[in-house]
Amino acid sequence: MEHIPALVDALARELKARRLMMATAESCTGGLIAGACTEVSGSSEWFERGFVTYSNAAKSELLGVSAQLIGQHGAVSEAVAREMATGAVAHSAAKLAVAVTGVAGPTGGSVEKPVGTVWFGWATPAGVFTEHQRFDGDRAAVRQATVRHALAGLLQRLPG
């Protein structure tokens, strides 16, 4: 498993080389992805902004996610992750975005969406890609695994 700083360094190199900016739209990670990116000096060259949209209202107000969509599919869903990623690009100067929405625990899980369930969305010039993961561990472990997967997924989906 790759360490977060190494992923951020690789992502920074690739984004700078392509002259691209990225944004984040985070729910269950509460800004940890943006925090990992901005831990690096000079990240303003490739990190445009981060949206922490923990509540459903924030997802709608800041990213344009339809309240009806959230009501129909739930906040932790492929549809919402897709709209969060799309909204992050639409509401920023970034060409790329990563979005995460999930159940970090220890409370909030259900039979359909147990603790550790996370939906990812990556918006790129080639389209929006989504993926579902289920991570084991406590709240901190789920959130760290989510950050790693989000960054690695964006790195894999870079254009060019």
Give the strand order in the sheet containing 96-102: 47-52, 22-26, 96-102, 117-124, 127-134
**Total number of domains in the chain:** 1
Summarize the confidence of residues 101-111 as an average pLDDT.
94
The pLDDT confidence band at residue 160, using thresholds 50, 70 and 90, is confident
Instruction: Answer whether residue 1 shows pLDDT above 80.
Output: no
Question: pLDDT tens for residues 73-84?
Answer: 999 999 999 999
121 touches 85 (CB < 8 A):
yes
- For the segment 7-36, what is each residue's pLDDT rounded down to a tens digit? 999 999 999 999 999 999 999 999 999 999
Q: Containing domain of residue 13, as a range?
A: 4-156
Distance CA 116, CA 109 (A): 8
If you count them, how many residues does the chain have? 160
Q: What is the CATH number of the domain that holds 88?
A: 3.90.950.20
Distance of alpha carbon 77 from alpha carbon 92, whole angstroms: 23
Q: Supply the mean pLDDT for the chain.
A: 97
